Every structure is written in structure tokens, then in C-alpha cells.
Amino acid sequence: MDVAEPRRPRVVIVGAGFGGLTVATKLAKADVDVTVLDRHNYHCFQPLLYQVATAELSPADIAWPIRHVLRRQKNVRVLLGTVDSIDLENRQVVADTVTLPYDELVLATGVTHSYFGNDEWEKWAPGLKRVEDATIIRRRLLIAFERAELSDDPAERERLLTFAIVGAGPTGVELAGSIIEVARHVMPNEFRHIDPRTARVILIEAGPRVLPAFPENLSAYTRESLERMGVEVMTSTRVTNCDETGVDLEGGRLEAATVIWAAGVVASEAGRWIGAQCDNAGRVIVNKDLSVPGRQEVFVIGDTASVKREDGSPVPGVAPAAKQMGAYVADVIASRARGAVPPPPFKYRHQGDIATIGRRSAVLKLGYMNLTGLIAWLFWCVAHIYFLIGARNRIAVAFKWVWDFATFQRGARLITDQRDQI
Amino acid sequence: MDVAEPRRPRVVIVGAGFGGLTVATKLAKADVDVTVLDRHNYHCFQPLLYQVATAELSPADIAWPIRHVLRRQKNVRVLLGTVDSIDLENRQVVADTVTLPYDELVLATGVTHSYFGNDEWEKWAPGLKRVEDATIIRRRLLIAFERAELSDDPAERERLLTFAIVGAGPTGVELAGSIIEVARHVMPNEFRHIDPRTARVILIEAGPRVLPAFPENLSAYTRESLERMGVEVMTSTRVTNCDETGVDLEGGRLEAATVIWAAGVVASEAGRWIGAQCDNAGRVIVNKDLSVPGRQEVFVIGDTASVKREDGSPVPGVAPAAKQMGAYVADVIASRARGAVPPPPFKYRHQGDIATIGRRSAVLKLGYMNLTGLIAWLFWCVAHIYFLIGARNRIAVAFKWVWDFATFQRGARLITDQRDQI
């Protein structure tokens, strides 16, 4: 490395989600050396995590080794490690496994679930952001049915067969729809003592309607669809406490063995690492070129960045936004590397909103077009297969969806960890 | 249940491996009430566990919920639980979740790895019997490459890229062949600092040859094949200690970050539960009808039973033996239930031996016929797909095998648990 020719700029990307991975791939032809650091060895396709949590897919179906994705890109190396701190003065990232000097730094470390100051609730109401979260939720879901089959106490059986989902954004809606399908279509005939169809799935939302980011008519359609499927939808209802046996709501108590938290997110620690100014959700407030004020060599992108649209509303925390920011920052870095004029300020292009409700049912807003039902659902299926990484996963997931759609099965119903065991 | 008509015999089966599951399915038409108790909610297809350990398949590909397998059999119920003790006098099984009275009891609880009195070695040299074992080994295998990529110490890098497998039965051979393929064909081009092809895979066997249960010419063929693939085979070599950084061998020290134990098994605790006479490996010595001496209502089958062939040699601990014993005991129980003459003593029919070595290579002994190479390998593939449970898994596994054979990929390279994290 220590040859006389001028050193190539060292770009360090922390986090290989949608944003970080896009930066790396878009820098393929730039004259820079890229290091991708992640605490996991895989990129996880988060939009389908709820299908791992509800026993439809295996973790490996939606996760792919980062180094495999980037294997052909000779200017990239991939390292496993967790950031301890960032030394802005000396320009280096200090991780548990390695210290990485940088010339350009991209922080793309995403979000985690937020309990609004009640972190102790996490134990009773896990959220869904990582592969581990999904297998924890899958285990709780499946063990609840097993315990109910073993119980002779009607009240306890009812509690075990009550599933509460807090938060009715796309993840909450998808979980509720998927869990009621497990109870009504997958489990029946397999139990002798309980009737899984009697399970209650309750979707709790503090705001006045489900899918608050969607147009009102799509929210209304979604609520109706969920209720037709058997989900109980409670809007304008705030959770005041979570404990071992259930949740306290503003209106009263709900005994529920399984509670899943889909209510809110808080940004990763990136803002703290760099001592930057953050918004209420911990997102770093960035310049128009997504760099950090006063540190033009440090960029924050994706869910960790607080970015405004032209109309002043915030850019939403969705995969397309992270990818757009990643592509933009790669452009800025590549321009700098070749001494070219930097691109104009980042501009977010909203592509649309989509959420799936259940078999043959989804809602889709694409520009001025609102779609519901089967057509939206088919669009959702095709789009998600398309965005998966790797032909092997695309084929495997498509096969499992077709098979399980036809047979009402779920293929990954394993309770695989002892820690939480019955 | 408390009606006046005579009560149907209650059959309790502990363990839903190959043996226990066969008893349950063969009792489908018998006039008995069957309860299957298992500590997991799934039946695991153990012959392919090594493919989960080496990142080829996902756990759900080789495991299927027991209650799904038995869902159509109305005289069976499935319960999740771990046996604490068995009360032979009052004829009941006491589990952590439930107490089960029985009229006929079948113990089919399998084996676990044996460290020959050195249980502290397990921490450094995990064995491969359960799904959890497979994901532990997968994690260690993948983390070793990640750590090597991060290391600047040549000796440490070499230690990290040394994989020792203790025991050269079918599992040891399959693991060795599979790991060398990962190092030589899957990993190259994905690392920048190390060359994964330099990894050493060492198969250590205390006896004079690999696959001791196979004919000598097949052992020789297997050894040659493994060595051609790059595996170092050490026969007549005993392991005298395992510790944090490697293993001590009779001939010297081997520094190895990953050690896998495939050297021996010991029967489950079934013998202790019933205070029965056991052989050296903890297997219960049973009567000719597989019942326990003095307790004709208690049967022990599969790997937990010590059964002799007509020539006095032991029945091997393989899936076909467990299935044959399961079918036999179901016949005994069904005969008793209808007051018929019991079947003649159990007789084991050995179907053959098969082990796969790597791509296009396996050894097969079927009666007097010995096969090697591609034909044996194709036979192995077809047989294993055939014996998997459920068309969905058969298709998914076949697709993954074909895909990965063509592309040299591995589809489940996830490091998914934090506990062992780098």
C-alpha cells in the first residue's frame, strides 16, 4: 500500500442495509478503496422479516452474505465488526474488531424499535427489525399455541391465544394479517384440545386510523379487510404499560401472552458517535448533500438521517429513500475523487406506498393511483421478489409463496432456541 | 372421556425421531389413544443436519412440525415437553409440562454425543445431533473465516483457518468433505486479505481407517477421495485433550479454531428414567420383543435400545433400524389391543450403508454390491430426497442442491446468534 503514487481515497461505510449497500455498489467504478463494516455478515431484506416472524420463510431466504453480494467488486472489502466510537479528528472508525482510517465516512446504521422511554417493555413486547427479532417472535407465536394445547385453565388458554400487535403501520398490518391466517388456516386440524381458530389477533393503534401514511380510503379499506379476516382493530388507543401477562390500554386491560411492538422507531447511535445535532427520533440533521454540518467528509443516510422533502415534510424511513440517498452520496464521493463538480442537492422522489394485508389483499398508492385487493397484492408479490437479492432466493421464495398459497401451509414452523423454551 | 364403555389403551411415545414417529403412524388404525411427547415441536431429518452445519440448507428444510406430520391421524395428539421422570408403578410419564398416564409406553429418545468422560470438551468441540448444534457449528465455521480476514497475525490466521473433525464415521466424512468444498469453492473471491483455499480440514480417527462400518475397499476409496479434495486424513490418532485453541493428539498438538466432535454417541437418559440394565453406551438392554425385562408395557427402540442381530452383532444406530423397531412395536401394541397373538421376535434387516463424500462422490454398500463415485452419489441424493417429509421440503431441497451444484454457492451462510459473536 505504501507506494509513491497518490493514495486512493478510503471510503468507510458503516452498515450494509439498503443505504450502505447502494453506496458500495454505486462506487464500483470510482477510483476509491471501499470498506463495508457491519455487525452482521449478511444483508437482511427487512420488508419480508414479518414472514420469518410468522413462519412462512426461513432467515436465509431473505438474507444474503454481504461479501457474496459484493464479491465481484474488487475495490470493496467487507469486514465484520461493531462500532465502538468514531474519532472525527483523526478520521477513524473504532470497532471491536478493527480500527479503520477514512477519508470519506458514510453512516447507514438504520433504526431500532422505540418504546418511548419504556425500554423495559422490550422484554414483553419484542420489535421486528433484525433476523434475531423475527426468530424470537416466531418462537413466541408457536409456543403460545403449544402451551394453550397443554393448558387446562380456560382463562390461561384464552390469554395464550391472544396476540396483540402495537402499532398499525405497514409492519403491524402485515403481522396482524399473517398471524390471523396462521390461526385460522394453518393451525386448525393439528390440535386436539384447543381450536386455534378461536385465537384473537388485536391490532392496537394510538392514532385515529391504520396505515397513517396512506390515503384515508386505503386506511379504511385495510381496516375493513383486516376485520373481515378476523382481526380486531383498535384505533385511538394508547398502550400505557406492557408486562408479563399482557398490556394496559387507555381503555382497560388486555391479557395477551404474545405482544409485538411495531409502534415506533428510534435512530441508531450514529448521532451520538459523532456528537451531531439530532431530531426527536435521534436522526442526524444533515446538509443538503447529506453530509454532517461542519464535517463534509461524514455522511449520514437512510433511516438514521433526518432529511426534508421540498414541501418541508420528512423523507420517510423506507427502503427506496435509503437507496436514493446511497446513490446520491456515492455520486458526491465519486465526484470529489475525480475532482469534478459535486451534484446538486439531494432530492427525494417518492415512488409510492404499499402494504400487504393477507392472501390476495394489499393496498398500493403509486402517484395519484390507488389500488386495492388482488391487483395490489400481485404487484406487491412481484415487486418483493424483484428486489430480493440473488436468483436463488428469488426462486426459493417464489416457490414457497406459490406452494403455501395453494396449501395453506407454513414451511418454517420451528421452535429452535432453548432459552425461551416452554 | 369417562364413559361406561371400556377405555381404549393409552399409548405414550416419548421422542418423535424416526423410531417414535413410525410407532405413531403405524398405530393409525389401531384401537388405541396415542400421545407423542417431544421436547421440540419438530421432527428433524438428522441425516442432512451436516448440510445445515455447512450452510447449504436452512433448518426448516430438514425439520417439519410433528403435529403437522400427524395432523390427519385422529387417534394421535402431540404435546411439547421434556421428561423429568417415569413412574413405573403408577404407569405415568412426568414431564415439565404435563403428566401422562399410560398403558403402553415407548421410549424413543435417541442419543447424544459422547466425550468418553470428558464432557468439558463439548464447549470447544460441539457435536452434531440437533438443529441447535448445526447452527452453532455453522456460526463457528463462518466466523472463523471472518476473523481470519480481520487478523494480521499469520499464526492466528492459520489457526482460524484450521478445521478439525474428530471421528471418521459417515458424519465426520460428510462434514470434512463439505467444509473443504466451502473453503475451496464457495469462499474464494469473496475475501481480500486471506485466501480461503489455504484452509486446512483435518479428519481425525482413532481407528485404523475411515468409515469403519463399511467394507475396507470403500474405506480406502473414501480416504483417497477426501485426500484428493484436500482433506488431511489422520487415522490411528487419538485425541487426548480439547481446549480453547485446538486439540492435543497422541502425536502432538494441533492448533485449530474450529473443532467438531463426530467421534461417539451415548444413549439418552431413558435407561436412567426406568432404572433398566444398560450396555456401556447407556443403551437399554431389551427383550426380543423390544420390551424392558420385567415391564412388558414399556418398550425402548431406536438408538436408545441395545438390540442384537442374529449373528450376535449389535443393530447399528441408523434411521432404518429405528423405523423397523418402531413398526415392530406398533405391531405388538396393536396385537395386544385387539387380543391377537403377538408377532414373532424382532428381526433386523440391514438394508445397506451409504455415506456421501462431496460433489459427485459417495460410497454405497447394498447387500453384496459396493458402489462408489457418481452413481453412488446420485443414489444418495435420490434416497435422501425421497425420505424427507413433505413435498414442499423435497422440492425446496432438490432445487437448492441443483442450484448450488451448478453455481458452487451455499445459500444459508448466516451468522445469526449474538452469543458467540466475534
Per-residue pLDDT of A203-247, as tens digits, reads: 999 999 999 999 999 999 999 999 999 999 999 999 999 999 999
* Contact indicator for A299, A332 with CB cutoff of 8 Å: yes
Q: Could you tell me the CA-to-CA distances from B94 to A235, B83, B91, B101, B102 in Å, in that order? A: 46, 6, 10, 9, 11
| A120 part of contact set with chain B, CB < 8 Å | no
Task: Give pLDDT tens digits for B12-29.
Answer: 999 999 999 999 999 999
Q: Which fold has domain A119-263?
A: FAD/NAD(P)-binding domain (3.50.50)
Q: What pLDDT shows up at residue A41?
A: 95
Q: What is the pTM of this model?
A: 0.93
Q: Please say if B255 is a catalytic residue.
A: no
| Three cell numbers written together for A179 | 398471524
Q: CA-to-CA distance for A319 and B177, rounded, in angstroms? A: 40
Q: CA-to-CA distance for A79 and A14, rounded, in angstroms? A: 10
- Nearest beta carbon to residue A79 from set B71, B149, B409: B149
Task: Give pLDDT tens digits for A246-256.
Answer: 999 998 999 99
Q: CA-to-CA distance for A94 and A337, rounded, in angstroms? A: 24
Q: Inspect the interface and report whether the beta carbons of B416 and A59 lie closer than 8 Å.
A: yes
First to last CA, chain A: 55
Spans of all domains in chain B: 10-39+81-113+265-337, 119-263
| B122 part of contact set with chain A, CB < 8 Å | no
Q: What pLDDT shows up at residue B422?
A: 40
CATH number for the segment(s) B10-39+81-113+265-337: 3.50.50.60
Name residue A233's beta-bridge partners: A203
- Sequence-distant (≥ 6) Cβ neighbours of residue B302 within 8 angstroms: B15, B17, B18, B19, B20, B108, B109, B110, B317, B321, B322, B325, B326
Q: CA-to-CA distance for A195 and A192, rounded, in angstroms? A: 8
Q: Could you tell me the CA-to-CA distances from B299 to A124, A143, A203, B329 in Å, in that order? A: 42, 29, 49, 7
Query: If DSSP states are collapsed to H, E and C, what string results for chain B?
Result: CCCCCCCCCEEEEECCCHHHHHHHHHCCCCCCEEEEEECCCEEECHHHHHHHHCCCCCHHHCEEEHHHHCCCCCCEEEEECCEEEEECCCCEEEECCCEEECCEEEECCCEEECCCCCHHHHHCCCECCCHHHHHHHHHHHHHHHHHHHHCCCHHHHHHHCEEEEECCCHHHHHHHHHHHHHHHHHCCCCCCCCCHHHCEEEEECCCCCCCCCCCHHHHHHHHHHHHHHCCEEECCCCEEEEECCEEEECCEEEECCEEEECCCEEECCHHHHHCCCECCCCCEECCCCCEECCEEEEEECHHHEECECCCCCECCCCHHHHHHHHHHHHHHHHHHHCCCCCCCCCCCCCCCEEEEEECCEEEEEECCEEEEHHHHHHHHHHHHHHHCCCHHHHHHHHHHHHHHHHHCCCCCCCCCCCCCCC
- Nearest beta carbon to residue A42 from set B58, B191, B414: B414
- Nearest beta carbon to residue B399 from set A65, A147, A399: A399
Q: Which fold has domain A10-113+265-337?
A: FAD/NAD(P)-binding domain (3.50.50)
Read off the pLDDT of each residue in A361-377 and give the average, rounded to a whole number. 93
CA nearest neighbour of B81 among B40, B23, B132: B40
- A:B CB pairs within 8 Å: 145
Q: Say yes or no: do domains A10-113+265-337 and A119-263 share a fold.
A: yes
Task: Give pLDDT tens digits for B299-351.
Answer: 999 999 999 998 999 999 999 999 999 999 999 999 999 999 999 999 999 98
| A416 part of contact set with chain B, CB < 8 Å | yes
Q: What pLDDT shows up at residue B410?
A: 87
Q: Which of A39, A41, A74, A82 to mutate to test the interface with B (most CBs of B within 10 A)?
A: A41
The pLDDT confidence band at residue B418, using thresholds 50, 70 and 90, is low
Sort out which chain B residues have CB atoms less than 8 A from A135's CB and list them: 416
- DSSP-derived letter for residue A230 is T
